[in-house]
Amino acid sequence: MVTTPLLPSDYLDLVSPLRAGADLRGRIEAVHPETGDAATVVIRPGRGWRGHTAGQYMRIGVDVDGRRLWRAYSITSPTDRQDGRITITVKAIPDGKVSNHLVHRATPGTLIQLDQPTGDFVLPHAKPAKVLYLTAGSGITPVMGMLRDTEFDDVVMVHCAPQPQDVIFRNELHDLVADKNLRLTEVHTDTDGRLDIARLGELVPDWAERETWACGPAGLLDAAEEHWTEHGVQERLHTERFRPRIVVAGDGGEVTFSATGKTVGADGATPLLDVGEEAGVLMPSGCRMGICFGCVTPLKAGAVRDLRTGEITEAEPGVLIQTCVSAAAGPCDIER
Amino acid sequence: MTAIDPTAHLTAEQIEELGRELDAIRDEVIADRGEKDAAYIRKVISAQRKLELASRGVLLFSIFPPAWLLGTAGLSVAKIMDNMEIGHNILHGQWDWMRDPKIHSTTWEWDHVSPAEQWKHSHNELHHTYTNVIGKDNDLGYGIMRVDEDQKWHPFHLGQPLWNFINACFFEYGIAAYDLELAKNLHKRRRRNPEFRARAKAVGRKIRKQVLKDYVIHPLLSGPSFLTTLAATFTANLVRNIWTHSVIMCGHFPEGVQVFERQSVKGETRGQWYLRQMMGSANISGSRAMHFMTGNLSHQIEHHLFPDLPSNRYAEVAVKVRALFEKYELEYVTGPLPKQVFSAWHKVFRLSLPNKKPKVKTPAREKEFAAA
Report the number of distinct structural domains present in chain A: 3
A225 and A264 share one domain: no
Kind and range of the H or E run holding B93? none
Q: Of the candidates A114, A141, A168, which is a domain's last residue?
A: A114
A172 and A136 share one domain: yes
Domain range enclosing A184: 131-241
Which of B99, B110, B114, B309 has the most A C-beta neighbours within 10 Å, making it the best mutation to test the interface with A?
B99
Q: Is residue A297 in some structural domain?
A: yes
Q: Of the candidates A174, A209, A241, which is a domain's last residue?
A: A241
The tens digit of pLDDT for each residue in B193-215 reads 889 999 999 999 999 999 999 99
Query: Contact at 8 Å (CB) between A307 and A326?
Result: yes
Facing A67 at nearest CB: one of B36, B97, B101:
B97
* Confidence at residue A243, expressed as pLDDT on a 0 to 100 scale: 61
Query: Contact at 8 Å (CB) between B144 and B270?
Result: no
pTM confidence score: 0.89
Residues of B in contact with A66 (CB under 8 A): 33-39, 97-98
The residue ranges of every structural domain in chain B are 12-371
A159 and A214 share one domain: yes
Q: B80 pLDDT exceeds 90?
A: yes
Q: Is residue A267 in some structural domain?
A: yes
What does the DSSP assignment read for A223-252? HHHHHHHHTT-GGGEEEEE---------SB
Task: CATH number of the domain at A318, please.
Answer: 3.10.20.30
* Confidence at residue A248, expressed as pLDDT on a 0 to 100 scale: 63
A271 and A225 share one domain: no
A197 and A260 share one domain: no
User: How far apart, in whole angstroms, are the C-alpha atoms of residue B257 and residue A3?
Assistant: 40
Query: Contact at 8 Å (CB) between A132 and A195?
Result: no
User: How far apart, in whole angstroms, are the C-alpha atoms of residue B236 and residue A274?
Assistant: 45
Q: Of the candidates A206, A241, A276, which is a domain's last residue?
A: A241
Which residues of A make CB contacts under 8 Å with B?
1-6, 10-11, 14, 63, 65-69, 286-287, 289-294, 296, 308-309, 311, 316, 318-320
A139 and A228 share one domain: yes
- Residues in B 247-276 with any Cβ partner in A closer than 8 A: 273
Query: Contact at 8 Å (CB) between A190 and A162?
Result: yes
Distances (CA, A) of B171 to B163, B166, B284: 11, 8, 20
Kind and range of the H or E run holding A99? helix A97-100
A279 and A326 share one domain: yes
A225 and A200 share one domain: yes
A232 and A145 share one domain: yes
Biggest CA-to-CA distance, chain B? 71
Q: Is residue A120 in some structural domain?
A: no
A154 and A196 share one domain: yes
Q: Is residue A246 in some structural domain?
A: no
Q: Between A and B, how many CB-CB pairs are < 8 A? A: 102
Task: CATH number of the domain at A30, please.
Answer: 2.40.30.10
Mean residue pLDDT across chain B: 92
* Confidence at residue A247, expressed as pLDDT on a 0 to 100 scale: 58
The tens digit of pLDDT for each residue in B98-133 reads 989 999 999 999 999 999 999 999 999 999 999 999
The tens digit of pLDDT for each residue in A14-65 reads 999 999 999 999 999 999 999 999 999 999 999 999 999 999 999 999 999 9
Q: A74 pLDDT exceeds 70?
A: yes
User: How far apart, in whole angstroms, are the C-alpha atoms of residue B38 and residue B95?
Assistant: 8
A30 and A53 share one domain: yes
A102 and A192 share one domain: no
Single-letter amino acid, residue A89: T
Label residue B356 by pLDDT band (50, 70, 90): confident
- What phi and psi, each to the nearest 5 degrees, are found at residue A134? -115, 110
